[in-house]
Amino acid sequence: MMRMLFLLVATTIGLYPFSSIDITLMMEDKQVEWEYQNPNKIEFEEGSSIYRDERAVKSFEEIMESLPDGAYTSASLEAVRELYPSMTSILVKKVTKDKEEFIWSWQKDEE
């Protein structure tokens, strides 16, 4: 409950520099997705399970540490791959507070 409260307070004062973000990871055996809308909606989906509680907040904070401030670089990609080694693709859709839309994607090359 405390982490959820922190997220609500943090997003209200602008900790995250966007109004919404959707992150979808495809792995060899499942899909993982985060949906965040400023200031108070956060959702984490893993396979067929959907979480809107502290687990969602913790997982969102963890993935955002790998994708700070929307800096989607090869270093960001490697940080996410450390968390999810079986990742085969990632899709990030972000809307800034000024309503600008950004999309970033990566797909594992066929070997």
pLDDT in tens, 77-108: 899 999 999 999 999 999 988 999 999 999 99
82-93 per-residue burial string, b: 16 or more CB within 10 A, e: under 16: eebeebeebebe
List the domain range (segments joined by +) for residue 26.
2-107
Task: Give the per-residue pLDDT at 72.
Answer: 77
pLDDT in tens, 25-47: 999 999 999 999 987 799 999 99
pTM exceeding 0.85: no
108: region left, alpha or beta (phi > 0 left; psi from -120 to 50 alpha)? beta
